Structure 1
Amino acid sequence: MTTQVWDYRLEYENERDDILDAVDSVFRSGQLILGESVRSFEREYADYHGVSGCVSCDNGTNAIVLGLRAVGVRPGDEVITVANTAAPTIVAIDQIGARPVFVDICPETYLMDTDQVEAAITERTTCILPVHLYGQCVDMRPLQELARRHGLILFEDCAQSHGARHHGQLAGTMGRAAAFSFYPTKVLGAYGDGGAVVTSDPEVEANLRRLRYYGMEQQYYVVSTPGHNSRLDEVHAEILRRKLRRFDGYLASRRAVAARYAEALAGTDLVLPKLAEGNDHSYYLYVVRHPERDRIIERMKQYDVLLNVSYRWPVHTMSGFAHLGYGIGTLPYTEELADQIFSLPMYASLPRGTQDKVIDALREVLATL
């Protein structure tokens, strides 16, 4: 049987009765849009993070779009971020008419090099957008100081970092607001698209509630800036509520899988994930590195193991963003990394025997390179 990087089916079998009960409870409730399940999930997700507000929406990309608009980023503003991220991070910045400004990454953690941020600040900079990638947080303390000193907005992209901590603080609680994705592969994933923004700023929360509902505060009347139709549906909200109760178990399982990989692959010439100081990793992905990455991926197919690359093309090298003017060579660590990284299978319900299959095959392939 082919081993995938991610597979939800075993988890579904284990949770099937509860998931189907969640769906049935919504269908019997008489309300399918912005009902009690959405309200309850928003309250419970905010409580989990120790913040006062959570506003859900239809996907993680729109969580960034709505979030940036809600905190006051406007067309023509500059947003400092990284190119080592999923394209939706940059698509969202572009959608509101702002300009992404890239800094390079730290070669060991693959996260934003915070030492480069201050030099990237101009008179048009309004926001710093760190991406907590692969399940690990960016070093937020220097960014918080820069934001305070320069009067900038700090907005976190937490699409890949549910449950990750930095010096004890949860991802998503260290800036003015933070965006999350509930895409099915995430540590907390729905059975389709979903997203949310968390904040403890009442003004930002109020802006978000209007923006995700066309700009309305009451039905059919737009009171301010026109917004979007970006609502999380009741079914996915109820499923996420049920899964949130099991969330700490998902985290523990992922960390156990990561620990087995680390132990079994120590001593090989793979570069294994490095945990940054002060971080608790949630292991959304288990990303390793090797200069013969493409050969390894092809050879692993012979063992019926499919691996993934997140991400093969840094955003600044994509033709769709050529207008930003970042040529090859402008972000050397980001570009070098993209040629070498790949992800091993990682999900909470990954069977031990399947993980053994991956480990044994990978060790055999590495031994014959």
Structure 2
Amino acid sequence: MSGQGYNYNFNNTVLTGINPSGIANPDLKWEQATQLDIGIDLAFLNNRLTVVADYYHKRTDNLLFTKAVPISSGYSTITGNYGSIENKGLELGISAKILTGAVKWEASGNITFNSNKVLALDGIQNELALSSYSLLKVGYPLGIYRTYILDGINQTGEAFLPGYDARTGGFKLKDVNGDGKISTDDQVIIGNAQPKYFFGFSSSVKYRNFELSGFLQGVQGSRLFNGFRFTFETPSGQVNLLEGTANRWSTTNPNNEYVKPAQGTNLPVGDRWVEDNSYVRVKNLTLAYNFPKVKFSKGIRAYVSGNNLFTFTKYQGWDPESNNYGSSNALFYDNGTYPAAKSYVIGLQCTF
């Protein structure tokens, strides 16, 4: 591997220098996966009710991972096939023709449970901090959060433990290890971004030429770091703030909700901003009318449709599905990503 180095003068001409940017690894190879799948398909009542169940257990080895090497080598890291990860779970699906007379009603649903675990990183270390709030750790799932536990705000005249942001009007942090001070040793794992289960449900009702169909999806048991709230609830200067911070702590307004301003202070990352982002979302709802066939057309269908109509969640961000590290399966962070757009469509379909 090579990259741009220092420019140099050759024959009175400034040329671009190139130097090695990493250690070559001739032993790089493809990742290797072993997987067990057990499935069953069942049908009842002349196929009016069908059930599908699948169990899987997959282990992936030789995952690419960048590990640290002694700086005396001339480089700080090397990439190799060091990582291993495991996924196992259960997928269930049910489809049913509930009504088959003048009113026809079909529905289907599915639910997936997945357990994810890191088995190896680089063969040396058991954990790797990815940011101030997240890390990779052997024996744990991807996307775990490790933060301080916020325990209110230090009030006037109150003795507080020495350490990170220890000031009157600043966050009070819980002394987890009981050593009488606050340090990174007091950070704890408070959850992860992997859902306990996710599901979907679709339904279609037909009566004569009318058809009403819909689809909803949901995720339960996952957590997401709300970086948007963290930024705009911690007044450190030169940024806008959320409306609630107008009620921030002061000597005349003591409270345990919002800290006083602290320009230039590195505010602690606490469990307050790692939120449950479980949700149920109505992804689509469509009402259609199918016109009787005419001589010059095989079918005409008029419809009105809505997408992303409703989202039911306790998450305080704009969208519980957000992740600014969209391509990452280890880092999960919402910095105010634009939410899924709600849309309405009126259409006419003609088939000739």
TM-score by length of 2: 0.20
TM-score by length of 1: 0.19
Q: Which structure: larger Rg?
A: 2
Larger RCO of the pair (alpha carbons < 8 Å, separation 6+) = 1
Q: Report which of the two has the higher share of helix.
A: 1
Q: Report which of the two has the higher share of strand.
A: 2
